[in-house]
Structure formats: C-alpha cells, structure tokens
C-alpha cells in the first residue's frame, strides 16, 4: 500500500501583550529551538512602549498596535482587535500579560481558542495583584495557571497549573521571579500540548 506522508501541523499563535513580554520571549525561544510545533504569527499590543514589541521585532514577527485611545468603548476595541487578529488567521490566541479585558463578542468569536497565563493557582487570587494578594493572605503555596478564557476575568477552564511554595522570606519580587520561571516553562508546554492534540486536556503538573 502506498504510504501517504502526513504533514506536521504547525500551530499559528497570536500573542497579546502589554508590557515586558518575558512570556512572549519564552514562547518565541521554544518555537525557534523547535521545542514546540508552533509559530508566532503576530504580536498584538495595546501599549506602544511595551518591551514585547522589540522582542517580536528581533524575532521577525509582525507587531500590531491596537490603540485603546482610538476606541471609545470595550466593544469598539474588541471589534478593532478582532479585525487585526483575523488578518493573521491564528489557531490560538495566547494572552501574555495583556492588561485589558476582552469584549464578550471577541471572546465568543474565538471561543475555545484563547488562553491566558496567570501568576496564581486560580480560582485563588484573580486580578492584577495576584502575587501581592497571595503574600498578604499568608498562603504556603501559590503557583501559575494556564486556562481557557471566558467572559469573566481570570476565569475559564483550567488547562494546567504548577504549584510554587512560598518561602517565609519571600518578597513580591523574589516570589514573582520564581513564578515567572515556572510560567516560562509551562506556557510553551501547554501550547505544545494544544499543537499536538488540539485538545484542552490538563497538562500534567511537575
């Protein structure tokens, strides 16, 4: 019987960022090293001075700045964002420090295709101060979560979590450093799982 060659699918990923872009960098590095069957097709930012822009440019990835100042409402911003995203036909949208709440219609349009990374073990400590909040609560363990995005903030089916012990001596800075290291491993792993299986099964925590 004649063998038919199966072409390896490369997942097209749009990454949305607002700031440093260290998670973007981890994804770009994993793609470049062939560790994940994915390609970043566009980086979309809502902040013209995001460091993520130069990281994308260095990797030769197109950057689109969707300016919130041009959009009077979240719904309007969502429309412009959707149009910008659609041009690149991504299989997956990875939010990586994108500090903006997506409009319900954007989330519906890309339902099941948007993932987010958060520096806590959701549902604990949602919001912009997850690390500070975990320290203030005195928890012994926090961690990172990758989840599918639904219409609520830092909410939706969990894909993977990685726990990180909190040390008595931890400050926001030292804890954040360890959480970031975990994020930079976990996010590419989840993207690879989605590339491989196309599924939202849990990624086993190490």
- Residues with catalytic roles: 118
Closest-CA residue to 161 (of 201, 197, 204): 204
- For residues 22 and 185, which CB has a smaller minimum distance to ligand GRF in the complex? 22
Q: Are 119 and 176 in contact (CB under 8 A)?
A: yes
> Smallest gap, in angstroms, from Cβ of residue 21 to ligand GRF?
5
Going by C-beta distance under 8 Å and a sequence separation of 6 or more, which residues neighbour residue 84?
42, 44, 64, 66
Q: Are 97 and 20 in contact (CB under 8 A)?
A: yes
Does the footprint of ligand GRF cover residue 183 (CB under 6 A)? Answer: yes
Does the footprint of ligand GRF cover residue 96 (CB under 6 A)? Answer: yes
Sign of the CA dihedral running 50, 36, 158, 140: negative
Does the footprint of ligand GRF cover residue 117 (CB under 6 A)? Answer: yes
> Smallest gap, in angstroms, from Cβ of residue 8 to ligand GRF?
27
- For residues 21 and 78, which CB has a smaller minimum distance to ligand GRF in the complex? 21
Q: What angle do CA 60, 66, 70 make, to 5 degrees?
A: 155
- For residues 79 and 185, which CB has a smaller minimum distance to ligand GRF in the complex? 185
Report the interface residues with ligand GRF, using CB under 6 A: 17, 19-23, 96-97, 117-119, 183
């Amino acid at each position: 019987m004649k063998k038919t060659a199966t072409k390896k699918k490369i997942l097209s990923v749009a990454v949305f960022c607002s700031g440093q872009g260290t998670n973007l960098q981890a994804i770009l590095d994993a793609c470049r090293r062939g560790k994940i069957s994915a390609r970043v097709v566009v980086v979309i930012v809502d902040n013209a001075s995001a460091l993520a822009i130069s990281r994308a440019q260095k990797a030769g990835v197109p950057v689109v700045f969707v300016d919130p100042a041009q959009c009077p409402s979240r719904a309007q911003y969502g429309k412009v964002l959707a149009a910008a995203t659609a041009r690149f036909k991504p299989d997956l949208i990875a939010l990586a420090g994108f500090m903006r709440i997506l409009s319900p219609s954007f989330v519906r349009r890309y339902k099941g295709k948007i993932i987010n990374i958060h520096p806590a073990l959701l549902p604990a400590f949602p919001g912009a101060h997850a690390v500070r909040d975990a320290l203030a609560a005195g928890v012994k363990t926090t961690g990172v979560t990758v989840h599918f995005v639904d219409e609520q903030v830092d909410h939706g089916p969990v894909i993977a979590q990685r726990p990180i012990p909190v040390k008595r001596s931890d400050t926001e800075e030292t804890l954040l450093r360890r959480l970031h290291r975990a994020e930079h491993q976990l996010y590419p792993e989840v993207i690879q799982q989605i590339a491989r299986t196309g599924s939202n099964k849990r990624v086993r925590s190490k």
